Amino acid sequence: MTIHKDKRVLVGMSGGIDSSAVCIMLQEQGYEVVGVTMRTWDVPSHFSTPGQEQPDEVLEAQALAARLGIEHHVADVREEFRQVIVKYFIDEYMRGRTPNPCVMCNPLFKERILCEWADRTDCAWIATGHYCQLEDRNGYRYILTGDDPTKDQSYFLWKLPQEILRRMIFPLGGMTKQEVRAYLAEKGFEAKARGGESMEICFIDKDYRDFLREHCPDIDERIGPGWFVDSKGLKLGQHKGFAYYTIGQRRGLDIALGKPAYVLKINPAKNTVMLGDAEQLNAEYMLVEDVNVANLEELLTCPSLSVRIRYRSRAIPCRVITLDDNRLLVKFEGPASAITPGQSAVFYDGNRVLGGGFIAFQQAIRKIAAENQERFSK
């Protein structure tokens, strides 16, 4: 039987539950499935036996491909992953920000490489095991949230450009994780169906601070100890270096103030970390930069706009205006706390992703908000 190129689909195979289910589903739907597994970063826990040359995920993907009779490739992209994603991860902490490696990895790395391999293997489509859906509307393709709220991954994909979205297939978006496990078991893959979950940050299997020290050995020399300060600038005690803290952090501060203390702000230029009460984390406004939106006018005029400021957080009703420097000023219309530079702000109209951006440093936010207050009332 000859299958037309339009039915050839490249699947990003991690060897796990979700991508395995995707391969089986698409094959059942008449697609000619081609698998590619990216070897991005070798973590010791990914090698089950001594002397094993390939990580478990590659071996598992190869075994599944052989069982299904599909073409499979291994893309060794470890050096590029180090230069792009790991470098970004370290650089963000060194700037006093909290990185979003999964958000950067999807458009800048994994989906780009999948596109390259799709072209190389003559595949019209690209499929992954993300729990989200797609919708075409008014000439644009939008990401929709997945039906399983505990697994929805739409938050991570806001940076995908339209040209990639138009080639994507997300077969699992209308299913729950339990339904995916049941599907695999029904198809005779009982062991795979019982598999565990993957790590959220695939290249870290310990505390990120240890990772920073390991891959940036001079970090303590470059940064060194600094001061914890209060909101008035009063010194409270020494900290280990601003890169080891994140906004909203409470545990691991190693300072006794007689009451709970939270990280409010990080100033990398002065190597200070501001501490305060939980109430001081509350925010009415937020600055967002590096914006990717399908239709900006829709974002600015959406009557039911909401924003998520971290993965798995609730969506907060909001309004948005543009600033002259291409940043967005967001006004929250519900409680918001711990605005963290470097994290993603993802905008939704109901279950539809309108776009997103990175949370910027919030310097002069009160002044900027006051100067633009009237624009929100129009």
Please determine, for residue 3, whether its predicted confidence score (pLDDT) is greater than 60. no
3-state secondary structure the chain: CCCCHHHEEEEECCCCHHHHHHHHHHHHCCCEEEEEEEECCCCHHHCCCCCCCCCHHHHHHHHHHHHHCCEEEEEECHHHHHHHHHHHHHHHHHCCCCCCHHHHHHHHHHHHHHHHHHHHCCCCEEECCCCEEEEEECCEEEEEECCCCCCCCHHHHCCCCHHHHCCEECCCCCCCHHHHHHHHHHCCCHHHHCCCCCCCCCCCCCCHHHHHHHHCCCHHHHCCCEEEECCCCCEEEEECCHHHCCCCCCCCCCCCCCCCCEEEEEECCCCEEEEECHHHHECCEEEEEEEEECCHHHHHHCCCEEEECCCCCCCEEEEEEECCCCCEEEEECCCCECCCCCCEEEEEECCEEEEEEEECCCCCHHHHHHHCHHHHCC
Nearest to 210 by CA among 202, 197, 219, 199: 219
Tell which wins on pLDDT, 222 or 4: 222
344 annotated to bind ligand:
no
14 annotated to bind ligand:
yes
User: Which of 102, 123, 132, 202 is an active site residue?
Assistant: 202
**Quick one: fold of 5-193?**
Rossmann fold (3.40.50)
Tell which wins on pLDDT, 49 or 6: 49
365 annotated to bind ligand:
no
Written as six digits, the tokens of 364 are 């002069």
Written as six digits, the tokens of 372 are 């633009």
12 annotated to bind ligand:
yes
Please determine, for residue 2, whether its predicted confidence score (pLDDT) is greater than 50. no
The ranges assigned to domains in the chain are 5-193, 223-280, 282-376
Q: How many residues does the chain have?
A: 378
Q: What is the mean pLDDT of residues 30-34?
A: 97
The radius of gyration of the chain's CA atoms, rounded to the nearest angstrom, is: 23
Q: What is the mean pLDDT of residues 167-188?
A: 97
User: Which of 23, 102, 105, 302 is an active site residue?
Assistant: 105
23 is catalytic: no
302 is catalytic: no
In tens, the pLDDT along 53-108 reads 999 999 999 999 999 999 999 999 999 999 999 999 999 999 999 999 999 998 77
Q: Does domain 223-280 have CATH number 3.40.50.740?
A: no
Please determine, for residue 1, whether its predicted confidence score (pLDDT) is greater than 50. no
In tens, the pLDDT along 228-266 reads 999 999 999 999 999 999 999 999 999 999 999 999 999
pLDDT for position 5: 66
- Which is the CATH superfamily of the domain at 282-376? Translation factors (2.40.30.10)
Where does the pLDDT of residue 271 fall: very low under 50, low under 70, confident under 90, or very high at 90 and above? very high
233 annotated to bind ligand:
no
pLDDT for position 195: 86
Residue 109 has φ and ψ, to the nearest 5°, of: -130, -75
